[in-house]
Amino acid sequence: MAKKATKIKVNKAEAAKRVKKIWPILETTYPDAKSALNFRNPFQMLISTILSAQCTDARVNMVTSKVFKKYKSPADWAKADLKDIESDIRSTGFYHNKAVSIKNASKAIIEKFDGSVPDTLEDLVTLPGVGRKTANVVLGNAFGKPAIACDTHVIRLSRRLRLSENSDPVKLEFDLAEILPERIWTVFSHSLILHGRKYCRARKPDCANCPISGYCPAANNPDLW
């Protein structure tokens, strides 16, 4: 039986103070924090992010290294046969839904945005298969706009660090936006992802070697994970 999520209470003023203490450490620990997805333009970032759902970045990069040579524009994806797209992206998993999303999003980009990926969250989320998380990834990485992308690592670490009591990604995004300086929104998300992979793993966090454990209320306490 899965462990029931621990109910926590977060004081936003204290959370903001905690950010000021942990961010300099994270910034030093992960000076090159950025997306692991390979892309050359906003459209490639969008496709890669859609493919990354329930799939490793490494696998996505393997697939896109080939498909980006075959499908070079929204028009290429839009006119492609759905079965061909499915075959080309099959190894990323959930390939039918992803193929439908990519094909329909490409059509929408052509029909509604003159063939260019929109650069606002409001417009991005109107694209088929694009939610706030995907939109924020594109905004932060392809357009360089402040954006908070809440994946499973960001959710887990934000709760353990008592930066938010929410596991819902949208609510968490709004919580973090209140306590993080806007200039670090994107890189903070990347840093938490890297930290979650290296130290703050889901089942067995390495609190003994974690550089921010001194500021983590859940450090060395499994009951608070």
The CATH code of the domain that includes 114 is 1.10.340.30
As a whole number, the mean pLDDT across the chain is 96
Instruction: Determine contact, residues 212/22, Cβ cutoff 8 Å.
Output: yes
Domain count, the chain: 2
Both 107 and 134 in a single domain?
A: yes
Residue 49: band (very low, low, confident or very high) from pLDDT cuts 50, 70, 90: very high
Written as six digits, the tokens of 29 are 């620990």
Active site residue 151: yes
Residue 7 lies in a domain: no
**Does some domain include residue 37?**
no
Given the residues 123, 145, 151, 198, select the one marked as catalytic.
151
5 within a domain of the structure (yes/no): no
Mean pLDDT value across residues 130-156: 97
Q: Which CATH number is 16's domain given?
A: 1.10.1670.10
Tell me if residue 133 is catalytic. Answer: yes
Cα 116 from Cα 110, distance rounded (Å): 7
Q: Are residues 65 and 126 in the same domain?
A: yes
The whole-angstrom separation of Cα 158 and Cα 155 is 5
Contact criterion met (CB below 8 Å) for 191 and 163:
no
In 30-125, where does DSSP find H-type helix? 42-51, 57-70, 74-79, 82-89, 95-113, 121-124
Locus of tokens 């930066």:
163
Predicted local distance difference test score (pLDDT) of residue 2: 46
Residues 132 and 203 in one domain: no
Shared-domain flag, residues 136 and 186: no
The verdict on 88 and 123 lying in the same domain is yes
Say if pTM beats, i.e. exceeds, 0.85: yes
Q: So what's the pLDDT on residue 4? A: 54
- pLDDT score of 223: 87
Selecting among 133, 171, 175, 206, the annotated active-site residue is: 133
Q: Range of 93's domain?
A: 42-142
Number of C-beta neighbours around residue 28 at 10 A: 9
Q: Which of 4-8, 27-31, 209-213 has the lowest mean pLDDT?
A: 4-8
Task: Report the SS3 class of residue 76.
Answer: helix
